[in-house]
A and B are shown apart, each in its own frame.
Chain A
Amino acid sequence: GQSLEQPSEVTAVEGAIVQINCTYQTSGFYGLSWYQQHDGGAPTFLSYNALDGLEETGRFSSFLSRSDSYGYLLLQELQMKDSASYFCALTGTASKLTFGTGTRLQVTL
């Protein structure tokens, strides 16, 4: 099967940079996705890495290293509204997602 591990909680100050790590075990996948979920809300798509390297989308960047079974999400210029849970997910056929355990990010003043 597949499994993904993330830190359960991360705290950072407004304006700072934070990195959320994701390690995974799988026999095969198409890419690594990142989703954001605010309390009580639905997940929303942030980023996708099909290939190794860095993908940048505004304040958010995501990285993948297939050889290390590792990825991360980098959030820059943190804002209070970034306080949410962040999930990495392995993408399979039919764009199916296997989600990680999730990281709760708390942004403080």
Chain B
Amino acid sequence: SQTIHQWPATLVQPVGSPLSLECTVEGTSNPNLYWYRQAAGRGLQLLFYSVGIGQISSEVPQNLSASRPQDRQFILSSKKLLLSDSGFYLCAWSSIAGGGYNEQFFGPGTRLTVL
């Protein structure tokens, strides 16, 4: 069965500090990978998605970047955090099988507070 891991679960960082959030998927190959951010009481905003190693698409201009160094590893980074980067960060994966729509499976999330 497939499993998605995210860490850390919670993180408190000062403004201007760097950030690295990691997401790994087990039990599947060549998944589509996604990073979302959710502000308190709001919907999810797609930040980045990846259809393969080294292939990253950014959905919104921002203070963040993403990388996919391995097939099942997706990393979200920032060189200098802003207060507005606070939120609930969720990683997700979907299969590419079938060529049509495939549901997304979400990780447990990282709750980031920037002070």
Contacts and interface: CB of A to CB of B under 8 A. Distances in A.
Interface of A: 30-31, 33, 41-45, 48, 50, 87, 91, 94-102
Contacts of A50: 100-101
A33 B101 CA distance: 10
B45 to A, nearest CB: 7
Contact of A43 (B32, B44, B94): B44
Contact of B103 (A33, A42, A99): A33
B7 interface: no
Interface of B: 32, 34, 42-46, 49, 51, 59, 90, 94, 100-109
A64 B102 CA distance: 18
B108 to A, nearest CB: 6
Contact of B106 (A42, A48, A101): A42
Given A33-B101, A45-B105, A95-B104, 19 more contacts: A30-B100, A30-B101, A41-B108, A42-B107, A42-B108, A43-B44, A43-B90, A45-B103, A45-B104, A50-B100, A50-B101, A95-B32, A95-B102, A95-B103, A96-B49, A96-B59, A97-B46, A98-B46, A102-B43
